[in-house]
Amino acid sequence: MVRRAGALALSLLFATMARAQQPQLAFSVQPGGVVAAALPVSILQDATVRKQLRSGLTTTFLIVARQRDTRAVTGARIEVRYDLWDEVWIAQKVELNRRGERQRLTSLDALEKWWRTPVRLLSTKASRVTVQVDLSVLPFSAAEEEDAREWISKSGGVGTEGGSGGLVDALIGTTLSAKPLTSYRWNVELALQ
């Protein structure tokens, strides 16, 4: 296979298990065999997601890419929080081998524009790769989860002093988690030309 520098044409051969209403990913190949995917804006426009975005919590979009052939697992994370004080969107992407700068976006349109920027998902030297991409929309970030866990265990009335706090901490520690608000899955076979 001959790789050319820069973007190469990429064709989506087929997508299995794709639902009719499932938004489609737009893949592209970047230098170094890095495959990136532009996420559809419809994900942001989903009613549940839209409501969560304005909650003040950090909505986390967790993307996991599994290569069928090599079984390599890579991923990316997008964090979006609406700052209610300044009324701006704080957004950040943590991609394959790269942590993007935190963005302050003043409008939803700006956020959607930023959203369309492809996310680096995986790196490959193969000419053809079969990938399963999972996207989970989590309602809050790991830091917020930890903060809430600490707050709950301290303010439970039984977890402040004495031995009963251990039980409460254990229960909270094994229970509190960010359940996905919604999730998507794409199975694609990519031919890199």
Partner 1 sequence: MTPTRSLLAVVITIAAATLLFWFVLHQISGVWLDVALRPEVRAALEQSREDQKALRQLDPARRAEYRKRFDETQKLINRIEVLRMNRQAMLRRFELALMIVFALAATAAAILLWTRYRRAQERERREYLERVTSLQETARRHAHEIKGPLTAARLELERYADLVTADASADERARAQESVSEELERLARYTREFSSFAGIGKPVLRRESLGQMIEEFCTTFANAWAGMELNDSGGDAVVCVDRDMFRQVLVNLCSNSARAGAASMRFMIVRNGPVVLLDARDNGSGIPDSLRARVFDPYVTTRRIGEGMGLGLSISRKVMLDHGGDLVLASTSSSGTTFRVVFGAATCA
* Residue 158 contacts partner 1 per CB under 8 A: yes
Tell me whether residue 54 or residue 98 sits nearer to partner 1 (CB atom): 54
Nearer to partner 1, 6 or 87 (CB): 87
**Separation CA 184–CA 65 (nearest Å):** 12
Burial of 170 (0-12, 13-18, 19+ CB in 10 A): exposed
- Contact 90/101 with Cβ under 8 angstroms? no
Distant-in-sequence, close-in-space partners of 6: CB < 8 Å, separation ≥ 6: 31
Is 89 a residue that touches partner 1 (CB under 8 A)? no
List 42, 48, 84, 98, residue binding partner 1 (CB under 8 A): 84
- Given the complex with partner 1, which of 95 and 145 has the nearer CB atom? 145
Residue 56 binding partner 1, by CB under 8 A: yes
Buried b (16+ CB within 10 A) or exposed e, 13-49: eeeeebeeeebebebebeeeebbbbebbeebbebeeb
Q: How far is the CB of 46 from partner 1 (least distance, A)?
A: 17
- Quick check: 172 binds partner 1 (CB under 8 A)? yes
- Identify the residue whose tokens are 């990938």: 131
CB 36 within 8 A of CB 27: yes
Q: Does the footprint of partner 1 cover residue 94 (CB under 8 A)? A: no
Q: Which one, of 80, 69, 51, lies nearest residue 140 by Cα?
A: 80
Q: What is the DSSP letter of 117?
A: S
Q: How far is the CB of 155 from partner 1 (least distance, A)?
A: 6
Cβ proximity to partner 1: between 73 and 84 the closer is 84
Residue list 111-150, contact with partner 1 (CB under 8 A): 139-140, 144-145, 147-148
Choose one: 25-33, 69-77, 100-108, 157-165; the region binding partner 1 (CB under 8 A). 157-165
Confirm or reject binding of residue 11 to partner 1 (CB under 8 A). Answer: no
Question: What is the binding site for partner 1 (CB under 8 A)?
Answer: 55-57, 84-85, 139-140, 144-145, 147-148, 151-152, 155-158, 164, 167-168, 171-172, 174-179
